[in-house]
Amino acid sequence: MLRLGHRPERDKRITTHVCLTARALGCDKVVVVERDDRVVEGVRDVVKRFGGPFDVESGVPFRPFLKDASVTKVHLTMYGLPMQQVVPHIDRSRDLLVIVGAEKVPREVYELSDFNVAVGNQPHSEVAALALFLYALRGDAAFDKVFSGQIEVQPSAKGKVVRPQEDGSGE
Amino acid sequence: MLRLGHRPERDKRITTHVCLTARALGCDKVVVVERDDRVVEGVRDVVKRFGGPFDVESGVPFRPFLKDASVTKVHLTMYGLPMQQVVPHIDRSRDLLVIVGAEKVPREVYELSDFNVAVGNQPHSEVAALALFLYALRGDAAFDKVFSGQIEVQPSAKGKVVRPQEDGSGE
């Protein structure tokens, strides 16, 4: 996943949520174009505690990603074509790069993406758009990734149950 | 939808995204427990431009909502039971209150909710959790609400196409 247009002061928490959503729904890696060490540290701390594999880095130019012909590039934007219409045309046998912008996205992102996809044509949230797109693409399988971290949450009807994993090494 | 645990400085943008996601996926109203006039103004501005009906208010005590027996109360929490397991048991003929907390949620929210629902048992984002829950509950119908605002986005493969609605009154 490629995160673009991050403004360190304003977007720290939104970009962190974007990264954690990508991780929880099975993405392998997030690249944040604009450098923000605090976001990277925060996400790596979650990976350390709750498990990986999941990579995050920031301060990486985006154009090489947009020009990589070996991956399918999906840009999420409220101006795109409806997710429901596009998803059946995405080749699941290829690697996928999902591009999530903030308020201003350069024109070339629209042009170089294979698909500009709208998760609804109403303004809402890049966090919600990413989550809904990944879920529409993969269904419940989006939640199938097994994480091996120091702690694991146990589903519970009324409380909070957290236990250390049996191999609590974090690896 | 009830938003709880909002910290005005830290959560302004996350809570705004929660509200806009609720609007885009068909909720009628959001109540933010902690008062934040800037969040309310920002969301109302989107409603004015992109359409309603959608209400938002802040600074409203949450206990009366939790004690309202006439609605089904669903609390989204990574500690809950899996969404996939709970959704089939939710009575769609009743009004629904979705409760979205921040980091600290009072114990009584767990106890008074009809369902504590986990959207995955990994930490990610209340914005993503809300979006995924509403989509799992309603499917593509979550996007069926017709908004009558001043502007409307037209789906497009490569660009941004926005037009004023024919009745551009915003009502």
Chain A residue closest in CA terms to B113: A158
pTM for the whole thing? 0.95
Chain A residues lying within 8 Å of B118, measured CB to CB: 153, 155
For residue B165, the model assigns a pLDDT of 64
Q: Does residue A51 register a pLDDT over 60?
A: yes
> What is the nearest CA distance from A93 to chain B, expressed in angstroms?
23
ipTM > 0.85, yes or no: yes
Give residue-wise pLDDT tens across range B42-53. Answer: 999 999 999 999
Q: Are A76 and A133 in contact (CB under 8 A)?
A: yes
pLDDT band at A165 (very low <50, low <70, confident <90, very high): low
Residues 6 or more apart whose Cβ sits within 8 Å of residue B114 = B72, B73, B74
pLDDT band at B119 (very low <50, low <70, confident <90, very high): very high
- Among B143, B137, B26, residue whose Cα is nearest residue B87: B137
For residue B148, the model assigns a pLDDT of 86
**Helix, strand or coil for residue A168?**
coil
- Cα(B35)–Cα(B37) distance, rounded to whole angstroms? 6
Residues 6 or more apart whose Cβ sits within 8 Å of residue B32 = B3, B6, B15, B19, B39, B40, B56, B57, B58, B59, B60
pLDDT band at A168 (very low <50, low <70, confident <90, very high): very low
Q: Does residue A143 register a pLDDT over 60?
A: yes
Give residue-wise pLDDT tens across range A83-110. Answer: 999 999 999 999 999 999 987 899 999 9
Listed by number, the residues of chain B in 87-106 with a beta carbon closer than 8 Å to a beta carbon of chain A are: none
For residue B106, the model assigns a pLDDT of 94
Q: Do B132 and A135 touch (CB under 8 A)?
A: yes
Chain B residues lying within 8 Å of A135, measured CB to CB: 132, 135-136
Listed by number, the residues of chain A in 31-90 with a beta carbon closer than 8 Å to a beta carbon of chain B are: 46, 50, 77-82, 84
- Cα(A123)–Cα(A141) distance, rounded to whole angstroms? 27
Q: Does residue A146 register a pLDDT over 50?
A: yes
For residue A166, the model assigns a pLDDT of 56
Q: How many CB atoms lie within 10 A of CB A138?
A: 15
Average pLDDT, chain A: 94
Q: Do B157 and A23 touch (CB under 8 A)?
A: no
For residue B169, the model assigns a pLDDT of 42
Q: Does residue A114 register a pLDDT over 70?
A: yes
For residue A9, the model assigns a pLDDT of 87
Residues 6 or more apart whose Cβ sits within 8 Å of residue B27 = B1, B54, B98, B134
Q: Does residue B40 register a pLDDT over 90?
A: yes
